[in-house]
Amino acid sequence: MPEGHTLHRLADELRTAFAGRAVASSSPQGRFAAEAARIDGRVLEGAEAWGKHVFVSFADAPEQVHVHLGLYGSFLVTPGVGRPVVGQVRWRLEAASTADLRGPNACELLTPPEVDALIGRLGPDPLRDDADPERAWRRIHRSSVPIAALLMDQAVLAGVGNVYRAEVLFRNEVAPMTAGRRVTRKRWDAMWADLVELMREGVRTGRIDTVRPEHEPEAMGREPRADDHGGEVYVYRREGQSCLVCDTPVRRRVLAGRNLFWCPTCQHRG
């Protein structure tokens, strides 16, 4: 379930489990075998997330392993070593703990210039202290592209995915098809602050919860719902169900190949 919070959480887990330790590195599936062998036995130095990308570094090695989970990748860290391999494991790290990477969009060794180039293509990440939201604003405020598409553009903002996109638009009452240039500065500032808060909470809890206390089912006299993405949300994947705030049926449309969910009543601002 990879949006930015998942990757920052993963970087934290990898550091906690492996930083400062010599790690066994292998590719049970074989597709990362040659690269994994080059890392084998080295001391893992760090792991860091930029948007939806994770970079793992090793002592005495200039190259870093770049991992991108894509739509269905997973990187599971569990205690203990020597566990039998189940299914397709692209990369396995072992040192007291075991980390199994499956189905990634990318798992590759990158040179320092390649890492810099990749990071250079990314917009500010709300989860990073060094993020500069002004860079995102400069792109947004002179764009005719709908704000819903801009939020998903990793060159504009790094780490926001389909759930945070839908939810931050809802929480700030912004109509998704509003052109970037029609979004006010005040609204953008509020959306950025909201993303920082929501995504930090996501890193803390490992799930995406966006519903404010006053709109929780209990407060609204409704039955609690169990969402299949593991959190509580206003509109994401709630097509046809009534809006938690105004009862209007939640709408869905496909925008740039992705499902966009919104409440046509609550979301009316630019």
One of 20, 41, 62, 70 touching DNA (CB under 7 A): 70
Q: Which of 216, 258, 264, 269 is catalytic?
A: 258
CB 42 within 8 A of CB 26: no
Q: Which of 9, 48, 52, 133 is catalytic?
A: 52
Q: Which of 3, 48, 94, 232 is catalytic?
A: 3
**How are beta strands 97-102 and 74-79 bridged, if at all?**
antiparallel
Helix (H) or strand (E) holding 94: strand 91-95
One of 42, 61, 105, 197 touching DNA (CB under 7 A): 105
Task: With contacts defined by CB under 7 A, name the span among 18-26, 91-99, 130-138, 251-259 that binds DNA.
Answer: 251-259
Whether 2 is catalytic is yes
Single out the residue of 177, 262, 139, 203 nearest to residue 3, CA to CA.
203
Relative orientation angle of helices 185-205 and 4-18, to the nearest 10 degrees: 40
Whether 186 is catalytic is no
Q: Taking CB under 7 A as the rule, does residue 1 contact DNA?
A: yes
Hunting for tokens 């190949």 — which residue is that?
257
Provide, rounded to whole angstroms, the least separation between the CB of residue 29 and DNA: 6
Q: How far apart are CA 93 and CA 121, in angstroms?
A: 28
Q: Taking CB under 7 A as the rule, does residue 161 contact DNA?
A: yes
Q: How far apart are CA 247 and CA 269, in angstroms?
A: 18
Q: What's the order of all strands across the beta sheet hosting 91-95?
A: 24-26, 91-95, 97-102, 74-79
Q: How far apart are CA 213 and CA 72, in angstroms?
A: 31
Provide, rounded to whole angstroms, the least separation between the CB of residue 160 and DNA: 7
Provide, rounded to whole angstroms, the least separation between the CB of residue 43 and DNA: 28
Provide, rounded to whole angstroms, the least separation between the CB of residue 228 and DNA: 7
Whether 258 is catalytic is yes
One of 10, 17, 152, 156 touching DNA (CB under 7 A): 152
CB 62 within 8 A of CB 72: no
One of 143, 162, 178, 267 touching DNA (CB under 7 A): 162
Could you list the residues that contact DNA (CB under 7 A)? 1-3, 6, 29, 31, 51-52, 68, 70-72, 74, 87-88, 90, 102-103, 105, 152, 154, 161-163, 208, 228-230, 237, 256-259
Active site residues: 2-3, 52, 258
